[in-house]
Chains A and B, each alone.
Chain A
Amino acid sequence: DGGITQSPKYLFRKEGQNVTLSCEQNLNHDAMYWYRQDPGQGLRLIYYSQIVNDFQKGDIAEGYSVSREKKESFPLTVTSAQKNPTAFYLCASRKRQGTDTQYFGPGTRLTVL
């Protein structure tokens, strides 16, 4: 089955530790995205990547980092510089040509203790 996988579904970390969230897609999509979701806030864009080895900051990139070494993978690292990292993180992907729809993964809920 084609789709987007995110792991783990739940993640707990101590304050001050970096943590990496995984996002993999087998849809052959060019563009990938990371969003943060907080209650009542909707979705806010953290980083996006249109092609391999290239990525751009979104609206709330501070305290986060990403890499795009493979088309299928777009991991997100939440660093200790992120002041309030507890949130639900959603990865999405889109084929750049011919469609405008972003498809979403199931999400990772990060809790920093």
Chain B
Amino acid sequence: AQSVTQLGSHVSVSEGALVLLRCNYSSSVPPYLFWYVQYPNQGLQLLLKYTTGATLVKGINGFEAEFKKSETSFHLTKPSAHMSDAAEYFCAVRDMYSGGGADGLTFGKGTHLIIQP
């Protein structure tokens, strides 16, 4: 069974500082990995995803994430935080070989990013 752990339910950074949101997963097979962002009372928007190929993935709004197989991690970073980045962020994993079923999208519990002015 897959699982996703997001370290820190709340992360606070100053505007202009580095953003680092941590995600570790467990999966017995190669995974697909996703980061979603959610603004208050809205749905989830895809930030970026890793399927195959280059392990450093660039997404929208200046975010990027690096897949590190040896560490089973997929941490999300942004060099300089902006006030508009304040939101809830979810990491999710899917079994690469899952052809159907529930599609194996397992979500972490989320990290609330707070930007201090």
Contact B44 A104 (CB under 8 A): yes
Contact B46 A101 (CB under 8 A): yes
Main secondary structure of the interface of A (DSSP, over half): strand
Query: Which residue of B9, B49, B110 contacts A101 across the interface (Cβ within 8 Å)?
Result: B49
Contact A31 B103 (CB under 8 A): yes
Contact A107 B43 (CB under 8 A): yes
Q: B residues within 8 A CB of A88?
A: 41
Contact A48 B46 (CB under 8 A): no
Contact A94 B103 (CB under 8 A): yes
Contact B42 A107 (CB under 8 A): yes
The segment from A39-47, A67-75, A77-85 that touches chain B is A39-47
Separation of A42 and B90 alpha carbons in the complex (Å)? 8
Main secondary structure of the interface of B (DSSP, over half): loop
Contact A100 B41 (CB under 8 A): no
Interface residue count on the B side (C-beta < 8 Å): 23
Query: Which residue of B49, B102, B110 contacts A45 across the interface (Cβ within 8 Å)?
Result: B102
Q: B residues within 8 A CB of A100?
A: 32, 49, 51, 94, 103
Separation of A9 and B43 alpha carbons in the complex (Å)? 11
The 6 closest A-B pairs by CB, nearest first: A104-B43, A42-B109, A104-B44, A42-B107, A43-B107, A106-B43
20 A-B contacts (beta carbon < 8 Å): A6-B43, A9-B41, A40-B9, A40-B110, A41-B109, A43-B44, A43-B107, A48-B102, A50-B100, A56-B101, A88-B41, A92-B44, A100-B94, A102-B103, A104-B45, A106-B43, A107-B41, A107-B42, A107-B43, A109-B41
